[in-house]
Amino acid sequence: MPVGTKGTVKGLTPGDLREAGAGIVLGNTYHLYLRPGSDLIAEAGGLHAFMGWEGPILTDSGGYQVFSLARTRRISEEGVEFASVYDGSPHVFTPELTTRVQEELGSDLAMVLDECPPANAGREYHEDSLRRTARWAKRSKEAHKRGDQALFGIVQGGLYPALREESLARTVEIGFDGYAVGGLSVGESRDELLETLALTAPRLPVEKPRYFMGIGDPVGILQVIALGVDMFDCVLPTRLARHGAALTQDGRINLKNAKYRWDFGPLDPGCLCETCAGYSRAYLAHLVRENELLGHRLITLHNVRFTVDLCRRARREIEAGHYESWSRTWISRYTRSDHKRADELE
């Protein structure tokens, strides 16, 4: 799911997203609540009308943004007090408020307010946090009134298997339209992430969507799909593009590298996007070096299309019963290029 934090996937129009095959985009409750305001967006007819996107929209609760700003917030049973990243003004997010804001935004999928502790938080902290998150989740569900909007619960518990099991049981007991695995991609190793996800995702209700919050690299996407995840989002494909990095079947390439100045081939010969069909690596490298907006836009368009196409292919391979062998071969090709490591942006 491409991320449109402030009501826009940076550099792309809704038409671009449709052409790329995106079926859903994300909006960010924290940022849209602060600017331009959920009341204004509601007056405009909701986020779909405001941004000109006719497809589904998922909005997060803003919890991750609040908790990532640890110096400016205070957690209580009521909710979270924080200072605006824009002007320092004080605000309080409660489960009831974030639910109401998302209803005003008019998204199709909304998330409960949760706490997202860092990976290095101690067991006692995670234990208290997951139980508070469960209480908040119940309040979010009780406050939720829109019948045309799905509400997802979020499983926390850090890297502790017993706490994950407890959070999962508490969240499923409340009952939601879908379930997210939160509290990962917050500083733990990839092995720790996958091990924790393997204990969590398969135990979620099979008839409900399973959402992994915050993974967007191609290898990671294929790895979490293998563990039963249906939905995922990340700013990585669009953020990489703004730094001149493109995703290809042979790994990630950095167009700031001098060797691409004379490379007149497409970004990825196997890609059918507008960028690969009409522009060379040399031209894109020139745009990147000159910091031209067109370069950011064209690489963003490619990275989004590349990621969406990867997911389409994964779905076909699952349906054909070949996913395990196909994904293993795909990952091997993506990671084996000797030049890739030198090109990557860390």
The reply to whether 291 falls in a domain is: yes
The reply to whether 7 falls in a domain is: no
**Domain-ending residue, one of 178, 203, 234:** 234
**Domain-ending residue, one of 208, 234, 260:** 234
Instruction: Say yes or no to pLDDT of 114 above 90.
Output: yes
At residue 68 the predicted structure's pLDDT band, cuts being 50, 70 and 90, is: confident
- Which DSSP string do the residues of 131-147 spell out, in sequence order? HHHHHHHHHHHHH---T
Q: What is the CATH number of the domain that holds 97?
A: 3.20.20.105
pLDDT for 290-339, tens place per residue? Answer: 999 999 999 999 999 999 999 999 999 999 999 999 999 999 999 986 44
The reply to whether 1 falls in a domain is: no
- H-helix or E-strand containing 178? strand 178-181
Could you give the number of structural domains in the chain?
A: 2
Instruction: Say yes or no to pLDDT of 147 above 50.
Output: yes
Instruction: Say yes or no to pLDDT of 71 above 80.
Output: no
| Distance between CA atoms of residues 135 and 206, nearest Å | 24
Please tell me whether residues 88 and 178 are part of one structural domain.
Answer: yes
Please tell me whether residues 225 and 244 are part of one structural domain.
Answer: no
Please tell me whether residues 75 and 120 are part of one structural domain.
Answer: yes
Please tell me whether residues 296 and 329 are part of one structural domain.
Answer: yes
Please tell me whether residues 41 and 184 are part of one structural domain.
Answer: yes
| Residues paired with 245 in a beta bridge | 254
pTM: 0.94
| Distance between CA atoms of residues 42 and 37, nearest Å | 9
pLDDT at 339: 47
Q: How many CB atoms lie under 10 A from the CB of residue 94? A: 18
User: Alpha-carbon torsion 132, 138, 141, 142, what sign?
Assistant: negative
pLDDT at 25: 98
Eight-class DSSP state of 75: E
At residue 116 the predicted structure's pLDDT band, cuts being 50, 70 and 90, is: confident
- Choose the catalytic residue: 60, 114, 268, 343: 60
pLDDT at 70: 65
Establish whether 233 is a catalytic residue: yes
Eight-class DSSP state of 3: B
Tokens of 127: 């234990």
Contacts of 13 (CB under 8 A, 6+ apart): 52
Class of residue 202 by CB neighbours under 10 A (exposed 0-12, middle 13-18, buried 19+): exposed
**Domain-ending residue, one of 177, 212, 234:** 234
Please tell me whether residues 227 and 252 are part of one structural domain.
Answer: no
Please tell me whether residues 248 and 217 are part of one structural domain.
Answer: no
The reply to whether 289 falls in a domain is: yes
pLDDT at 65: 77
pLDDT at 187: 87
Establish whether 60 is a catalytic residue: yes
pLDDT at 337: 63
At residue 119 the predicted structure's pLDDT band, cuts being 50, 70 and 90, is: confident
- Choose the catalytic residue: 16, 233, 268, 343: 233
At residue 134 the predicted structure's pLDDT band, cuts being 50, 70 and 90, is: very high
Instruction: Say yes or no to pLDDT of 289 above 60.
Output: yes
Average pLDDT, the chain: 94
Taking the alpha carbons at both ends of the chain, their separation in whole angstroms is: 22
Range of 51's domain?
A: 14-234
Contacts of 260 (CB under 8 A, 6+ apart): 253, 281, 282, 284, 285
Instruction: Say yes or no to pLDDT of 159 above 50.
Output: yes
Tell me what percent of the residues of the chain surpass a pLDDT of 90: 89
Instruction: Say yes or no to pLDDT of 102 above 80.
Output: yes
Please tell me whether residues 170 and 187 are part of one structural domain.
Answer: yes
